[in-house]
Chains A and B, each alone.
Chain A
């Protein structure tokens, strides 16, 4: 009796799995009709999000972010450089997004993944559009000492984002990770040595300090994003990789904490986005921005307590 029950359960489970693999779109639509998703989430809810600051000790700023299974690790390195001629009083910010083969079965070693440069460009555009960082704050010109009149140097922020697990909504996780790492960033103290070069302060003699001590970067409005899938009359927030591959219309909306629209990104897709759908997505993103802001503030407060 027990044995036959066990085999019955196993066979019904196999049937569900077979249906999911053979008819993935119908499987999902059966769930959508009940306003639920195969992993149990309601349509408008994002997955569990966690932010961990200071994951890389050797970096000037770092963050590890997980949204569901999607995992992003960001590390920031700061260097002193000569600013460009067009903007001599500004530093610069460079963002690189990497998808190593460990993150997904479709990424092969060697050639970078197709999505890498696209997400990289999106991130650069989003952070520069939001004007979250004042690049003039990175400049080292204009110190009080008279001998600094000829000094021409500025900080350069180099940000590397690694995708450790690609399970959908890569841009969302990458943006939160980049923002969290920038909020954790400490600008190092630098000095000019006897040769006239700018080096990090290491306590040696003969170094003249240029800026006094480590300090945090000032962040203005912080951008957050939410990716939604449009499918027939449904809007699904924060899709997984499986949902993304089955339903092909994605809309990514980025709002900042002051309510400005930073980006509305819809690269084609079979479904057309009408005004009502756009407004619904903006509403969902607004809720998500409040949620993520509180997570980030909580994590930064915890870091302050630890220090």
Chain B
């Protein structure tokens, strides 16, 4: 029943995550995020005064620039930019700094599969590092479906080429709060179960998609824990440095 993966992982296992913040001096916030061999560097500048002509000056606008490892920007990169921009817009509180623009530059360092979720995670960590006001974080995960219907999380490039279909999912970060229990629910489901972004490739049945949703939610809970721990470590070390 269980499929063996070339790197020895179980189907539900993520590749090792590495996240470091404040690695660039000139940017207001920066983060490097690696999942296995896939690595993305994100930098945030802003909020800067002024808004582009096509944007709404009553809200803060977000500009995303995606830099591939090699070559020119094509349609793939344009689509990634649009997805990233929409996702980041939905987690930022844009009414606080009207008539400003925040630039997010995403540089792909290496692509070994699941590139878009890695970039979304890096961009969120960079926004936190820059002090941009956010409603919540976003955690991104990639699920793939084999021909036999097994669901595998966080595929590598080699695995992606053999898969029938795969899905990039983005969920809100789980909330740890002293608020009463009911306020974290949205109807009958907790807020962390809502889908912020979903991008699919390949054909699959609707049931397979719903199964991927369940696996993605479970994995995003683990990712949320990782992100929270990472930020706590950083703030603790900075507090000790100041003291």
Q: Give CA–CA (A274, B190) in the complex, Å.
A: 10
Q: Is A214 an interface residue (CB 8 A)?
A: no
- B-contacting residues, A231-277, CB 8 Å: 251, 256, 259-270, 272-276
User: Which of B1-9, B10-18, B39-47, B85-93 lies at the interface?
Assistant: B85-93
Give a binary string over A123-140; 1 marks a CB under 8 Å from any B CB, 0 the rest.
Answer: 011000111000000000
A106 touches B203 (CB 8 A): no
Q: Is A151 an interface residue (CB 8 A)?
A: no
Beta-carbon nearest neighbor of B213 in chain A = A275
- Which of A118, A259, A273 makes the CB contact (< 8 A) with B195? A273
B189 touches A275 (CB 8 A): yes
The distance from the CB of B138 to the nearest CB of chain A, in whole angstroms, is: 9
The distance from the CB of B235 to the nearest CB of chain A, in whole angstroms, is: 27
Q: Which residues of A contact B201 (CB under 8 A)?
A: 125, 129, 263
- Which of A261, A270, A274 makes the CB contact (< 8 A) with B204? A261
With A256-B203, A275-B210 as contacts: A268 and B87 at CB distance below 8 Å: yes
A272 touches B191 (CB 8 A): yes
Q: Is B82 an interface residue (CB 8 A)?
A: yes
B54, B194, B202 interface centre (most CB from chain A within 10 Å): B202
B78, B85, B205 interface centre (most CB from chain A within 10 Å): B78
Query: For this complex, into which size category does the number of interface residues on chain A fall?
Result: 20 to 34
B79, B206, B213 interface centre (most CB from chain A within 10 Å): B206
Q: Give CA–CA (A268, B92) in the complex, Å.
A: 12
Q: Is A296 an interface residue (CB 8 A)?
A: no
A121 touches B172 (CB 8 A): no
Beta-carbon nearest neighbor of B82 in chain A = A118
The distance from the CB of A125 to the nearest CB of chain B, in whole angstroms, is: 6
- Which of A122, A256, A267 makes the CB contact (< 8 A) with B197? A267
Q: Which residues of A approach B to under 8 Å, CB–CB?
A: 106, 114, 117-118, 120-122, 124-125, 129-131, 251, 256, 259-270, 272-276, 278, 282
Q: Which residues of B contact A272 (CB under 8 A)?
A: 172, 186, 191, 194-196
Q: How many residues of B contact A (CB 8 A)?
A: 40
Q: Which residues of B contact A121 (CB under 8 A)?
A: 75-76, 78-79
Q: Which residues of B approach A to under 8 Å, CB–CB?
A: 54, 74-76, 78-79, 82-83, 85-90, 165, 167, 170, 172, 186-187, 189, 191, 193-206, 208-210, 213
Q: Which residues of A contact B204 (CB under 8 A)?
A: 260-261
Q: Give CA–CA (A130, B210) in the complex, Å.
A: 19
B75 touches A261 (CB 8 A): no
**Tally of A-B Cβ pairs under 8 angstroms:** 101
B197 touches A117 (CB 8 A): no
The distance from the CB of B33 to the nearest CB of chain A, in whole angstroms, is: 18
The distance from the CB of A72 to the nearest CB of chain B, in whole angstroms, is: 18
B195 touches A274 (CB 8 A): yes
Q: Which residues of A contact B88 (CB under 8 A)?
A: 268
Q: Which residues of A contact B213 (CB under 8 A)?
A: 275, 278
Q: Give CA–CA (A270, B94) in the complex, Å.
A: 11
Q: Which 4 A-B pairs have the closest CB atoms?
A: A272-B194, A268-B86, A268-B87, A117-B78
Q: Which residues of A contact B78 (CB under 8 A)?
A: 114, 117-118, 121
Q: Give CA–CA (A121, B172) in the complex, Å.
A: 26
Q: Give CA–CA (A86, B193) in the complex, Å.
A: 42
15 inter-chain pairs at a CB distance below 8 angstroms, sorted by A residue, are A114-B54, A118-B79, A118-B82, A121-B79, A124-B75, A125-B201, A129-B203, A260-B204, A265-B198, A266-B196, A267-B87, A268-B83, A272-B186, A273-B194, A274-B194
The distance from the CB of B197 to the nearest CB of chain A, in whole angstroms, is: 5
The distance from the CB of B203 to the nearest CB of chain A, in whole angstroms, is: 5
Q: Give CA–CA (A278, B193) in the complex, Å.
A: 12
Q: Give CA–CA (A118, B77) in the complex, Å.
A: 9
With A106-B54, A261-B200, A263-B200 as contacts: A122 and B187 at CB distance below 8 Å: no
Q: Which residues of B contact A256 (CB under 8 A)?
A: 203
